[in-house]
Chains A and B, each alone.
Chain A
Amino acid sequence: MNSKPGQFLLVVLLLLLLVGIGLFTGRFTIYLTMRVMILGIFALGYNLLLGRTGLLSFGHGAFYAAGAYGLGFFTLHLSPHPLLGLLAGVLLAMALALIIGFFCVRHTEIYFAMLTLAFGMMIFSLIWNAREITGGDDGLVGIMRGPLSFFGLFTLPLSRDAQYYFLVLAVFIVSIWVVHRIRVSPFGLALAGIRENSNRAEFAGLSVKNYRLAVFIISGAFAGLAGALETLLESNARPFMAHWSHSAEPVLVSLLGGLQTFAGPLVGAVFFVAMRELIQRLTENWMLWFGIVLLIIIMGFRGGVVGVFKRLAGGSRPGP
Chain B
Amino acid sequence: MGEALLQIKKVSNFFGMVCTARDLDLDIRAGVLTSIIGPNGAGKSTLINLITGNLPVQSGSILFKGQDITHLPINQRVRLGICRSFQIVNIFPELTVLENILIPTLAMSGRTRRFFSSVSRESAAYDQVANLLGKVGLGAVKNSPANALSHGDQRLLEVGVALAVNPTLLFLDEPTAGMNPVERVRVLENIRQLSRGGQTTFVLVEHDMDIVFSLSERVVVLHRGEILGDGPPDEIKNNAQVREVYLGDSV
| Interface set of A (CB-CB < 8 Å, partner B) | 181-182, 184-190, 192-193, 196-197, 199-208, 211, 214, 218
Chain B residues with CB under 8 A of A187: 112-115
Asked if A203 contacts B95 (CB within 8 A), the reply is no
In the complex, how many residues of chain B place their beta carbon closer than 8 angstroms to a beta carbon of chain A?
Answer: 39
A-B contact pairs, 11 of them (CB 8 A): A185-B116, A185-B117, A187-B113, A196-B93, A200-B92, A202-B75, A204-B75, A205-B75, A205-B107, A207-B76, A211-B112
* Bound: A208/B73 CA distance, A: 10
Which residues of chain B from 142 to 169 have any CB-CB distance to chain A below 8 Å in the complex? 161-162, 164-165
Interchain nearest-CB distance for B2 vs A (Å): 27
Asked if A202 contacts B74 (CB within 8 A), the reply is yes
Given A185-B116, A192-B95, A202-B73, 16 additional A-B pairs, CB 8 A: A184-B120, A185-B118, A186-B106, A186-B111, A186-B113, A186-B114, A187-B113, A190-B106, A190-B107, A197-B90, A200-B92, A201-B92, A204-B75, A204-B108, A207-B75, A208-B75
Q: Is B94 an interface residue (CB 8 A)?
A: yes
| Interface set of B (CB-CB < 8 Å, partner A) | 52-54, 73-76, 78-79, 83-84, 90-95, 99, 102-104, 106-108, 111-120, 122, 161-162, 164-165
Asked if B161 contacts A189 (CB within 8 A), the reply is no
Asked if B114 contacts A204 (CB within 8 A), the reply is no
Chain A residues with CB under 8 A of B162: 203
Interchain nearest-CB distance for B128 vs A (Å): 13
Interchain nearest-CB distance for B112 vs A (Å): 4
Chain A residues with CB under 8 A of B93: 196-197
Chain A residues with CB under 8 A of B53: 202
Chain A residues with CB under 8 A of B54: 199
Asked if B103 contacts A204 (CB within 8 A), the reply is yes
* Bound: A226/B161 CA distance, A: 39
| Chain B residue at minimal CB-CB distance from A185 | B115
Asked if A186 contacts B122 (CB within 8 A), the reply is yes
Interchain nearest-CB distance for A54 vs B (Å): 12
Asked if A196 contacts B107 (CB within 8 A), the reply is no
Asked if B103 contacts A207 (CB within 8 A), the reply is no
Chain A residues with CB under 8 A of B99: 189, 192-193
Q: Is the interface of A mostly helix, strand, loop or mixed?
A: helix
* Bound: A189/B103 CA distance, A: 7
Asked if A197 contacts B112 (CB within 8 A), the reply is no
The answer, among B52, B91, B165, for a CB contact under 8 Å with A205, is B165
| Chain A residue at minimal CB-CB distance from B166 | A205
Interchain nearest-CB distance for A262 vs B (Å): 14
Interchain nearest-CB distance for B102 vs A (Å): 7
* Bound: A182/B119 CA distance, A: 10
| Chain A residue at minimal CB-CB distance from B118 | A184
Q: A204-B164, A205-B75 are in contact. Are A186 and B90 (CB under 8 A)?
A: no
For the complex of A and B, 3 pairs with smallest distance between CB atoms: A204-B104, A187-B115, A196-B92
Chain B residues with CB under 8 A of A185: 114-119
Asked if B78 contacts A186 (CB within 8 A), the reply is no
The answer, among A196, A202, A206, for a CB contact under 8 Å with B112, is A206
* Bound: A218/B116 CA distance, A: 13
Asked if B91 contacts A204 (CB within 8 A), the reply is no
Chain B residues with CB under 8 A of A218: 115
* Bound: A196/B91 CA distance, A: 8
The answer, among B76, B94, B165, for a CB contact under 8 Å with A196, is B94
Asked if B116 contacts A182 (CB within 8 A), the reply is yes
Q: A193-B92, A205-B165 are in contact. Are A184 and B119 (CB under 8 A)?
A: yes
Interchain nearest-CB distance for B251 vs A (Å): 34
* Bound: A206/B119 CA distance, A: 17
Interchain nearest-CB distance for A156 vs B (Å): 28
Asked if A197 contacts B91 (CB within 8 A), the reply is yes
The answer, among A182, A190, A204, for a CB contact under 8 Å with B165, is A204
Q: A192-B95, A200-B90, A200-B161 are in contact. Are A182 and B115 (CB under 8 A)?
A: yes
* Bound: A196/B108 CA distance, A: 19
* Bound: A185/B78 CA distance, A: 23
Chain A residues with CB under 8 A of B108: 204-205
Asked if A193 contacts B113 (CB within 8 A), the reply is no
| Chain A residue at minimal CB-CB distance from B90 | A200
* Bound: A185/B91 CA distance, A: 20
* Bound: A186/B106 CA distance, A: 7
* Bound: A208/B107 CA distance, A: 11
Asked if B115 contacts A181 (CB within 8 A), the reply is yes
* Bound: A33/B95 CA distance, A: 36
Chain A residues with CB under 8 A of B91: 197, 200
| Chain A residue at minimal CB-CB distance from B78 | A205
* Bound: A215/B83 CA distance, A: 26
| Chain B residue at minimal CB-CB distance from A181 | B116
Q: A190-B103, A196-B95 are in contact. Are A203 and B52 (CB under 8 A)?
A: yes
Asked if A203 contacts B78 (CB within 8 A), the reply is yes
Interchain nearest-CB distance for B94 vs A (Å): 6
Chain B residues with CB under 8 A of A182: 115-116
